[in-house]
Structure 1
Amino acid sequence: MELTTLWFGLIAFFWTSYFVLEGFDFGVGMLARVLGRDEAGRGVLLSTIGPFWDGNEVWLVVAGGTMFAAFPAWYAGFTSIYYVPLVAILVALIVRGVALEYRGKHDDRVWRRRCDLGVALGSLVPPLAWGVALAGAARGLPLDASGEYAGGVRELLSPYALLGGIALLGLCLAHGATFLRLRTTGDLRRRAEIARRRMGPPVVAVCGGFLAWTALSGGAGAWLAVVAGGCLMIGLLVRHDLLAFAGTTVAVGCTITAVLVSAYPALIPSTLDSGTGVTVTSAASSGYALSVLGWVALFFVPLVLGYQGWSYWVFRRRVAG
């Protein structure tokens, strides 16, 4: 296997891991204000992600860092074109992190309500913006012969990109609801189940439309899109907690992977000329650099996986609600 193909697969795995793990964090953050009827209830709901959310964000650093090192032209093109959404994501993550950390530092009702709002908004903006950016880049953008962006805002907010943002937002909500069913007991678990059932039809409609569009467009991600749709149905319909969470987990993972590989070997296809887009070959670092990165990944990736696996095992018990 060529090093460029191997590294593209690893980066796809890193991005998928980020959205699978951070996806339920975002979902819980958005649902806490809805399902928590009082400050205590919202505090219990947010405590379900307390041991995990900052560790889950490690995968964003890993994905972005390896993307920069292995495919610098891909990283440069993507971040420069989607500069505004990425800044919005960064600000939202900062607000959410501060709100989660400092919510319990001050015993004041107004303070906690503001923190809860910060968590909700900080959890809503990233999946919406990430979905728009990833779907739009994978579908193709107007790039000229030098690889520079030659379009405007309208090209960035194409129907497919907008639907991708709404679909990822819906997936995170469904993923968060199934996570809460798995992690809570009593009345909070019952409310999480009600939320899962109620959000089922609109989430299936939006995500199903996006996945169908992805599958009908062909490419390497077609079958992954079909699998994602089936697993989403399992996650929203079955009553077994663990199986439902596994369903939404696979749905999120397959959706992200389908988008990333949909145009492979192109990374950012050009809608102006098929020969001017950013490809795996044109964007990759030298073979020597990829080899060195491989040894670094061989050491650090198992370390991160081991640490996260241990933390999930330690905090596996349900939170009483």
Structure 2
Amino acid sequence: MKRIGVLTSGGDSPGMNPAIRAVVRKAIFHNIEVYGIYGGYTGLINGNIKKLELGSVGDIIHRGGTMLHSARCPEFKNPEVRQKGIENLKAHGIEGLVVIGGDGSYRGAKALTEQGFPCVGIPGTIDNDIPGTDVTIGFDTALNTVIEAIDKIRDTATSHERTFIIEVMGRDAGDIALWAGLAGGAETILIPEENYDMNEIAERLRKGQERGKKHSIIIVAEGVCSGTEFAKQLKEATNLDTRVSVLGHIQRGGSPTAADRVLASRLGARAVELLIEGKGGRAVGIENNRLVDYDIIEALSKEHKLDLQLYKLSQELSI
């Protein structure tokens, strides 16, 4: 293999830039040319493809977001549209493609693989919802962003003796809410994977008040309901005075943590190795601190499973 391409797709996540850097420099180390596809799958079908050099990825390891930019591309579900993208890759002599992104990005890579173009997926999403890997690129940074916000909001909650509801990202996966809630000492955590009992939450808050506790933090994953909606439900059940903070896209930005930079570097380099070995249609991940790779089609047939033992622990520690 003499030429490979790399693109980022879907929602950006901190660590995508270090992953791009690793792909480019690992490939050039092995005398392979690298081409960046700008704008995700949209850029692929529009032919927005440029050659990357060592200097192209200089000073990006510490930057959040993605230098290749990203976009949603619903039309990529059409086989004819994907074929146009493949033709654009072949026009540049590109023989393999590294795709950095989440579930939707993997589906695009899977479809390209099925049409005969070898792709390797790298899990880049703050949601941590990709099967086959213990952690995804960007999750650690997003988690630390949320924890920092929780710590600051708790100062105000303590000062004003109020209950604060913090809405975090996580439409289908509760990893951010669960990990941040546990690390931030939240009294209640709501995740999409588990139903909640308002009576139980109200009772927990009541017991806290009885022992002199005058403030609480409640973490709500957006996939459960909005923070505002939950605040109304809580008001009806307890008549508590609450405040709502929606962290929103702040969770996606910022300089990647050391953990995300190292993970991205390892996964990016491994993706290039797989293409060199002639192994397309794969995805890379990490399990028990060991790099793994698996069939990307098989990966998408599996379901991401939240560690419910952590959820149980959070309930035990929030008494």
> Which structure carries more helix by proportion?
1
State the TM-score, normalized to the length of structure 1. Answer: 0.27
**Larger C-alpha radius of gyration, 1 or 2?**
2
Question: Structure 2 length as normaliser, TM-score?
Answer: 0.27
Higher strand share: 2
